Amino acid sequence: MASSEIEVFEKHCSNGKWTTQVETAPSETPSISLTREQVEAFHNNGFLYLKKFVASTELLELKATLESLLEKQVGSREGARVDLLGGESHKPEGSSLQLNNPMNFAPNLHRTQCFRDALSIARQLLGEGARCLWDFTILKKAKTGTSTPWHQDEASRDPRFEYNELTVWIPMQNTDANSSCLQFIPGSHLAGVLKHGSPCGDSGAHALQCEVDFDAQAAVACSLPAGGCTIHHPRTLHYAGPNSSDHSRLAYILTFGVAPKPSSTVRSFPWLEKRHTDAQRRRRSKTGVRWLTASSAHSKFCAPAARFRYRSYFCARRTKTKRHRLSGSPSPFFGDVYSRAGRGVAAFSILLCGIAARE
């Protein structure tokens, strides 16, 4: 075997029989190392930004892949393609499109230097147990792209668990306040999860909106060149304005985290119980369930909850985890969640933590 390849074995349960797959993992190493000051800034402010993150050649490839997926309207039947603010009048071809888990449709996205560097940053900030949980892309069309309301990512998660995660946001072109760059409230991640609701009271909207007063004047707008990135905590209040520029704004987003833990306090997010989006209905359809449970690419590298539930929970007790450690995807036990929280709690966590998060 060539020195540039690492042989990895994994057993799979199929029709009650175990089969063995042999794969190779790339030998390339991450190229980004955060300074101590950058690590401290992330933990103190709840966000960080880097002016240079993705090489120009790879950036063009990433952009072409994402644009192709959006142009072909993949994910519409499965509930993966949504209008960011579309409610009952949801139209997948709206002015602000979001495609969840594009790795399901373009598996090569996980084989990029961008992915390796994002994983490396996650492990520097969260620990070596960090794994890629999911990815998505958002396109805001020129002149018409709507704003993303102020919100905290954790507000869309299961409140019965505590999360140690971060999100890497990568623009495919230069972005500033006019072209919907991200804006953050420094230190807002320290205040816990604030009250949220659906924008304009529309329970069918995909997005959430913070309903607590705060000083928006304190916001820091992170203008970035193409291929830069922001990194933010799931409790950091953030926002992206409308795209009033003459070009579309396309961003690729990756979320990383370690195994969630049962919450030490009783929490409830009543705003989640009121949501009834079109994407939820499509995901519960036969096509949507098949997409969530049958995508080998995403089960290997981003672990959507349903795939984990149907396959890994019942079949992966004997699965080797070496490949998962190399690739940065969740191990069959989603870190050590079985030993930490018990099998019953683990199954419940797996069921809710991924799907509810982006819904």
Would 8 be classed as within a structural domain?
no
- Among 5-9, 34-38, 84-88, 174-178, the minimum mean pLDDT is found in 5-9
Residue 141 phi/psi, 5° resolution? -70, 155
Q: CA 142: distance to chain centroid?
A: 24
Can you list the positions of beta strands (E) in the chain? 6-14, 17-25, 47-50, 81-83, 96-100, 131-140, 148-151, 161-162, 165-171, 182-184, 196-197, 209-210, 220-221, 229-232, 238-240, 249-257, 261-262
Q: Hey, which of 113-117, 143-147, 302-306 has the most confident mean pLDDT?
A: 113-117
Lowest mean pLDDT among 72-76, 190-194, 281-285, 347-351: 347-351
**For the chain, what percent of residues have pLDDT higher than 90?**
53
| Residue 86 counted as domain residue | yes
> 49 near 223, Cβ under 8 Å?
no
CA distances to 6, 158, 263 from 42, in Å: 33, 24, 23
Give the three-class secondary structure for 47.
strand
Give me the domain span that covers residue 249: 32-287
Residue located via tokens 């982006």: 358
Structural domain contains residue 59 = yes
- Tally of domains in the chain: 1
Q: pLDDT tens across 311-321, in order? A: 333 333 334 34
Q: Which carries the bigger pLDDT value, residue 81 or residue 340?
A: 81
Task: Say if 350 falls within a structural domain.
Answer: no
Check which CATH number belongs to the domain holding 82 and give it: 2.60.120.620
Least confident of 22-31, 46-55, 206-215, 252-261: 22-31
